[in-house]
Structure 1
Amino acid sequence: MQSGFVSADDVTAPGDREAGGEREERVVIALLVVACEVAFWVLLAVGLALRYVARKPKLGAAVLLCEPLLEVVLLVVTAIDLKSGAEPDWKHGLAAVYIGFTVGLGHHTIKKVDAWVAHRWFGGPPPVKPPKYGTARAIHEWRTAARWILAAVVALALLQAAVWYVGPDGAINSLQSWQQKMLLVIGINVIIAGGYTLFPKQAPKDADAVDREPADRL
C-alpha cells in the first residue's frame, strides 16, 4: 500500500517547471537553426541532382526555390517563441543572424556551387574567376562587401525589432551583443574593400612572374 504522503522531492515547484520549459524552448530554437542549415545544403544537393543527374532542370529549380521557406519557418518560430514570453538570449540572436546571412549570401552561394558542380562533373564552363588587379579587383571587393553588408543589415534589423519588442526593461544584452558583432562585420568588409580601392593591387610587370589566384570571399 502506498503512503498518502508526498515528499518534497516529488513536488516540482512552478518556477522550476517554468524554467525547464524556457530551457526546452531555447533548445528548440538552437536545433531549428542547425536544422535549417542542414536543410539548406540538402535542398541544394537535391536541386542540383535533379537538374544535372535526372535532367529535370525545372524541378531542380523548383526545389531550389524552396530555400527561402527555411528562413520563413525559422522567423515564424522565433517570433512565436518571443511572443509566448520567452526571454531573448543568444539563440534568438543567432536565428536573426542566420536569416540575415542567408538573405545576403544564400543566392550567391547557390550560384557558385551550381557553377562548380556543372564544371566539375557535367562539362560546363569553368567558373568565372574574380579579377586580381586594379579597379576591377576593387569593384569585385565592393560587390562582395555589399553582400556581407546586406546580410549584416538584415540581421541588425531583425535584432532591433526583437529589442523593441522586448523593451528597455527586458533582457536585451544578448541581442545587443549580436548587433555589435554585425557592426564589426560591416566594418571589416568596408576596410577590406576600401583597402583595394585606396591601394589597388598592380599587375606584375614580369609576365613570367608566378601569379596565384587569390582566395575569393563569398
Structure 2
Amino acid sequence: MTLLAIVVCEVAFWVAILGGLTARYVLRRPRFGAAMLVAAPLIDLVLLILVALDLLGGGAASWHHGLAAIYIGASVVYGHRMIAWADKRFDHRFAGGPAPERLSGRRHTARCWGDVLRTGVAVLIAGGILGGLVALVDDPARTAELRGAFPVLGVVLAIEVLWAISYTVWPRKPAMSPTGPAGG
C-alpha cells in the first residue's frame, strides 16, 4: 500500500504543479493556478498521514516507508525550487518571458554548494520523520526497515557533497551560443 501511495502522491504532486502552471499561463486563470500550486505541499501531508496510519494499524515497516520519508524530506526542501523551475519554463514558453538561464562557473558551483545545504536539511527532515515513526510505533521488530533507511540518507548527502566538489574542481563551462559563450 505504501509504495502505491508514494506513486499516487508523486503523480498528484506533478499534476498539481503542471495543472497550476497550465491554468496560470495557458488558460490565463492565475488564481485557479495558484490554488492548484498550493495543493502540492498538502500532498506530502497526505502521504505522511497514510504512512503513519499504515504503521499504527499494525503494519510492519518496509523499504517503502523509508522511501516515503526520504520523498517527503526532498519534496519539502526542493518542492518550491521545482515549482520555480517549471514556472520559469512555462513563463518562457507560454507568456513570452525570458529564457531560463544556464548557470556556469562560480555561480553554478555556488548553487551546487547551496544544494548540499538544502540536501542536508532534507536529510534532517527525512531522518526526523523516520525517527518519529520509529518512536510512534515503538516496536523494534516492526521498525527495523525504517532504521535501515538512515544509512541511505548518509549516502544521499555524500553524493551531493561529491557533486559539489566535482564542480568546485572542474567548474561548468558556459554554454556556447552562436555569438560566443553564454551564461555566467
TM-score (structure 1 length as normaliser): 0.73
Residue correspondence of structure 1 range 110-189 to structure 2 within 5 A:
110-130=83-103, 132-133=104-105, 135-167=106-138, 169-189=140-160
Moved more, 90-99 or 158-167: 158-167
SS in 2 for 1:65: helix
Give the number of the structure with larger relative contact order, counting CA–CA contacts within 8 Å between residues 6 or more apart: 2
Q: Distance in 1 between matches of 2:42 and 2:19?
A: 16
Residue correspondence of structure 1 range 29-48 to structure 2 within 5 A:
29-48=2-21
Contact 1:149 1:189 in 2 (8 A): no
| Corresponding position of 1:21 | none
Q: Residue type matched to 2:75 in 1?
A: T
Moved more, 169-178 or 101-110: 169-178
Specify the structure having the higher radius of gyration (Cα).
1
Contact 2:17 2:83 in 1 (8 A): yes
Please state how far the C-alpha of 1:196 moved relative to its aligned partner. 3.6
SS in 2 for 1:127: coil
Please state how far the C-alpha of 1:166 moved relative to its aligned partner. 3.5
201, 204, 208: which is aligned to 2:171?
201
| Corresponding position of 1:98 | 71
What are the Cα deviations for residues 132-189 of structure 1, in whole angstroms up to 9, with x where unaligned? Answer: 22x4332111122223222222111111222233446323332122211111111111
Q: Residue type matched to 2:26 in 1?
A: V
Q: Which runs of 5+ in 1 are unaligned?
A: 1-27, 214-218
Going from structure 1 to structure 2, the CA distance change for 1:127 and 1:203 (only over 3 Å counts) comes to: closer
Q: Distance in 2 between matches of 1:176 and 1:110?
A: 31
Q: Specify which structure has the higher proportion of helix.
A: 2
Going from structure 1 to structure 2, the CA distance change for 1:54 and 1:187 (only over 3 Å counts) comes to: same
Q: Residue type matched to 1:125 in 2?
A: P
Contact 2:16 2:40 in 1 (8 A): yes
Q: Residue type matched to 1:201 in 2?
A: P
Q: Distance in 2 between matches of 1:43 and 1:189?
A: 28
Q: Root-mean-square deviation (CA), in Å?
A: 2.5
| Corresponding position of 2:51 | 78
Q: Which runs of 5+ in 2 are unaligned?
A: none
| Corresponding position of 1:7 | none
Q: Distance in 2 between matches of 1:46 and 1:38?
A: 12
Q: Residue type matched to 1:188 in 2?
A: I
Going from structure 1 to structure 2, the CA distance change for 1:124 and 1:86 (only over 3 Å counts) comes to: same
Q: Residue type matched to 1:30 in 2?
A: L
